[in-house]
Amino acid sequence: THHRQGCHHHGFYKKHQLQCSIHPKVFYYKDNITRVPKKCKECDREGDNAQNEEQSVLEPGIVKLGEGGYNDVFLISSDVNSSPFDDMKPFVLRLPKQESLPPYQVLNEITCISIVSSNCPDIPVPVVHAFATDTCDAFIAEEYLHGEPLSSCWNRFSENEKQRVAQRIAEIVVDMGEMRFDGIGSFTGGKDCLLGPTVEGSKLFKGRSKFHSNNCYDIGPYKNTKEYVLACYDKEIYYYTHASASDIDSDLFEDMSLERFVAQLQDKRSFLEVNYNPVDEPFVLVHGDFNGRNVLMHGTDVVAVLDWEFSGAYPLSELVGGVGVDVLEVMDDESEKENSMWSARILRMVVCTARKRHWPENEVGMLVGSGDPIVGYARTEMFPVE
């Protein structure tokens, strides 16, 4: 669909992009289950390294594992030649890049990990040792876990092993669907209120992070789906009317003026405010980037689910959204066929698992249905399409 756009600033893998036959300036990508764009570079811990760069030793005990779209990731070990690090266990240090959403991005990840660890121990997560949410000095220090991403080792599994791993992935999906919340938001509300402003990739693209403030639009949390959708339109309207020319992708406005597009967004928002009545769904834990790159494996055992920075509470139909779960990176027709086949199998396993746990049938349908297209579009970068 046209709302799945490749972001050339924060980058999808170029080899995975498809050029739109209608709008040749736009490229599309098969995105993850919540329609949040994938990052173009990931370290081995958080995903396959797109550049296959060798790990770089900066100094004794400090190894740069990789560079993601939103973090630089380092391994810190006892080789560091200073007394505070003597006899310590290796740990991973994640440093957010400049264009992030401080303090919400770090706060969301560490709070979500805490929630999952406390309330759903069947979903393994890394232990957080320390963190800071300060704008200039934000970091997360968490345990180093030995393993490799599911996307890297999937093709080495036998058919029976793939079946076992796929079932485990399905169970994790259902586990997330059983964690319920009273609204839409990320886990940034602090002590008094769990839910706070949402942390999403679409709030970062092309300078959008500058406007992540209630002074610009309602950044959350939201009481219901309609309130959330209208706020997403407000975000895009505010961006296109306040962003600098250098941030806005001028290539997208060759066939339609920026002013006309903003008017279209305003008209659509007005229409939705009057006519949009979304189906009442439970709000559940959505990872935000749940795929084989963020599932750490040791053999056929899931060691940890990583990278919760874009997690949050969203409508149940956004958990899988009809797209499924990508278990490996699509590199060619053969890997596309393999990934599609197992993604479909995982969805069937999700249905069976939910029914075994006595889910209401209408919720099973929401979980594996195609999702609400209005919500799906609202969660993305909006751009003109003739």
Residue in the block written with tokens 């949390």: 221
**Which residues fall within 8 angstroms of residue 145, CB to CB, at 6 or more apart?**
45, 126, 296, 303, 304
pLDDT at 100: 82
pLDDT at 319: 95
Tell me which of 12 and 213 has the higher pLDDT: 213
Given a cut of 70, whether residue 32 has pLDDT beyond it is no
Rounded (10°) angle between helices 333-356 and 361-368: 160
Q: Where are the alpha helices (DSSP H) in 25-158?
A: 104-119, 150-153
Q: Using an 8 Å Cβ cutoff, are 204 and 126 in contact?
A: no
Residues paired with residue 9 on neighbouring β-strands, in sequence order? none
pLDDT at 41: 32
> In the chain, helix, strand, coil percent, each to 5?
35, 15, 45
Quote the distance between the C-alpha of residue 227 and its chain's center: 21
How far is Cα 38 from Cα 32, in angstroms, rounded to an integer? 7
Residues paired with residue 304 on neighbouring β-strands, in sequence order? 296
Q: Using an 8 Å Cβ cutoff, are 48 and 293 in contact?
A: yes
**What DSSP state is assigned to residue 196?**
B
Least confident of 51-60, 210-219, 276-285: 51-60
Q: Where are the alpha helices (DSSP H) in the chain?
A: 104-119, 150-153, 159-177, 225-242, 258-275, 333-356, 361-368, 373-378
Tell me which of 298 and 49 has the higher pLDDT: 298
**What DSSP state is assigned to residue 328?**
S
Residue in the block written with tokens 């076992």: 164
How far is Cα 113 from Cα 106, in angstroms, rounded to an integer? 11
The predicted-structure confidence for 80-106, as pLDDT tens digits, reads as follows: 455 454 556 899 999 988 778 888 999
Please, which pLDDT band fits residue 341 given cuts at 50, 70 and 90?
very high
Instruction: Catalogue the E-assigned strands of the chain.
Output: 18-19, 27-28, 56-59, 62-67, 71-76, 91-96, 128-132, 139-143, 148-149, 180-181, 283-286, 295-298, 301-305, 312-315
The predicted-structure confidence for 138-169, as pLDDT tens digits, reads as follows: 999 999 999 999 999 999 999 999 999 999 99
Which domains does the chain possess?
147-385 (3.90.1200)
Q: Using an 8 Å Cβ cutoff, are 66 and 53 in contact?
A: yes
Given a cut of 60, whether residue 4 has pLDDT beyond it is no
CB 57: neighbour CB atoms within 10 A? 12
